[in-house]
Amino acid sequence: MDAIVIGAGVAGLAAARELKKRGFEVVVLEARDRIGGRVHTVRLPGWPLPLEVGAEFLHGRPRSLLPLARDARELRGGHYFDGMERRDELWQSTMEKIGKLPSVLERPVDKALRTLRWRLRTTPDERQLAADFLEGFNAARLDRASVKAIAQQTQASEENGGNHIARLPRGYDLVPRRLARGLHIELGVRVRMVRWSRSRVEVHAGHRSWEAPRAIVTVPLGVLQAGAVVFEPALPRWKASAIAALSMGPVVKIALLFEERHWPQDLAASRNAEALRGKNPVTVAVRSLSAALGRRVRPIRAVSFDWQKDDLSRGAYSWVPVGAMRAQRAIADQVGPLHFAGEASHFDGACGTVHGAIETGIRAAREVATAQRKLPVRARRP
């Protein structure tokens, strides 16, 4: 065995795929009974479409994702506010101005939104929409989120054509399934301990263990922060500090099925998942939709999924608090024979995205290949 990959989310699968291309013998260990991690498509009786309880949209046209999502269809339509009033011009002007949010000084996003410079160039409606969007899209607290990180992510999205939003009608799980083709994956393996030395890694899960010269750790940030995987010896202080410095965003996905369409668009969402604590999320969503429509509506079916309560993720995706941008790069840095991947380790503006996770997996695999001095793919072992 040349390498062990811990986690069969898209980062782990991309890493294993890249290693296999380079002639490595690699095993992927996954705690769940499925692959995909936070890409989770469910197909339920009585529902006309697959439901995405995890990642749902393709943001822009990233090269790392498009070949795997060739079935994607771009979404088109309007933007509705205040009782389903269509206001596309408000959305467009706000998105353009978010790209110019004052970010020379590092500070929380909410303080940047209160600067005189921002207030002079925006209307009250634009300011409200900007705050709602930045909090909801990033699943981040605006009183703690780094404005520099938001600016970096906004720029990266613009360069990637982020205004193009697409969806896979047959299910986002097509992406991990395509990544996983031909890989050796073991499901239901919950890694509890990783023992490592300068030249060897032992991975332990219950009574089973695996050994290899290298390992790639792709478990979500929230799992690392909870200490659910023990490292012996412990990770160095700089690595532990980086893991603790970032935050995981709360997301509750809610799907409602009606006998008929009551609205011009098929999406209703709360911008603050924390506001759902202690409440029935379906009830809150139905009330929110009813208030927007101005009449009471009742779904015939409903599904909700709270990523904070999932102990194999402990949150939906990462965000960067003030002063923590360097932590992303530190999480990406290897420790001896241990390499790290996952959306939280993307330091060029694509954290929190599927394509960002894929890119980190490829990056970690190439680190392993360099360290092991393996030949390129054209000279694979027989």
313-339 pLDDT, tens digit per residue, is: 999 999 999 999 999 999 999 999 999
Residue 264: its pLDDT value, please?
67
Say how many residues make up the chain. 382
Please state, rounded to an integer, the average pLDDT across all residues of the chain: 91
**3-state helix vs strand vs coil in the chain, percent to 5:** 35, 20, 45
* 16-30, 75-89, 282-296, 367-381: range with lowest mean pLDDT: 367-381
Say yes or no to pLDDT of 76 above 90: no
Residue 382: its pLDDT value, please?
31
Assign 291 a pLDDT band (cuts: 50, 70, 90): confident
Q: What is the mean pLDDT of residues 187-194?
A: 98
Q: What pairs with residue 166 in β-bridges? A: 58, 74
- What is the Cα–Cα distance from 285 to 133, expressed in whole angstroms? 18
Residue 378: its pLDDT value, please?
37
pTM (predicted TM-score): 0.92
Q: What is the mean pLDDT of residues 43-58?
A: 95
Residue 97: its pLDDT value, please?
93
DSSP symbol at 204: E
* Residue 134 amino acid letter: L
Task: Report yes or no: 345 and 332 within 8 Å, Cβ to Cβ.
Answer: yes
Say yes or no to pLDDT of 298 above 50: yes
- What is the Cα–Cα distance from 213 to 236, expressed in whole angstroms? 19
